[in-house]
Copies of this chain bind each other. A is one copy, B any other.
Amino acid sequence: MKVSIPAAPLPLAFPDGVFPAGCPSRTVLDHITSKWGVLILVSLSEGGQRWSELRRRAEGISEKMLAQTLKTLERDGLVSRHAQVIIPPRVDYSLTERGYELSTLLVPLVAWAFNNADAIVNGQR
């Protein structure tokens, strides 16, 4: 049985529906949809967390990639870093307002992936 699927209008300002190669949104999209970027942002949507906690939650991430991902997100103004100069050091990360706004779009996406993962990898319906 076939069902007709309603076409959703793209509420985007892309001329002729073309996603331009040099568009800045491409870079932003690459950052926020990166393998580890998504997990870090979603993880932080629950509130501020320490370096070690982020490393634990994004299972499998290397220290290098955690540092790199956090730096990129910080430069993008999505994550803010709060370092306490104590020994041993303690550094907390949290979402900025803009990062939090983004996370409200990312959380449903990760949830969807989780809920549909089995059906997708097994080719079920």
Residue picked from A3, A43, A109, A114, most chain B C-beta under 10 Å: A114
Give bound CA distance, A55 to B90, whole Å: 48
- Tell me if A45 is interfacial: C-beta within 8 Å of chain B: yes
Kindly provide the distance from the CB of A73 to the nearest chain B CB, expressed in whole angstroms: 10
Instruction: Knowing A25-B117, A110-B29 are in contact, say whether A104-B8 is a contact too (CB < 8 A).
Output: yes
| Secondary structure dominating the interface of A | helix
One of B56, B104, B105, B114 near A14 (C-beta < 8 A): B114
The oligomer's copy count stands at 2
Whether A8 contacts B46 by the Cβ 8 Å rule is: yes
Sample (26) of A-B pairs whose CB atoms are under 8 Å apart: A5-B95, A5-B97, A8-B46, A8-B107, A10-B42, A10-B45, A10-B46, A12-B110, A12-B114, A17-B43, A18-B57, A18-B59, A21-B59, A24-B117, A24-B121, A25-B110, A25-B113, A25-B117, A28-B116, A29-B113, A30-B35, A33-B33, A33-B35, A75-B123, A78-B120, A109-B109
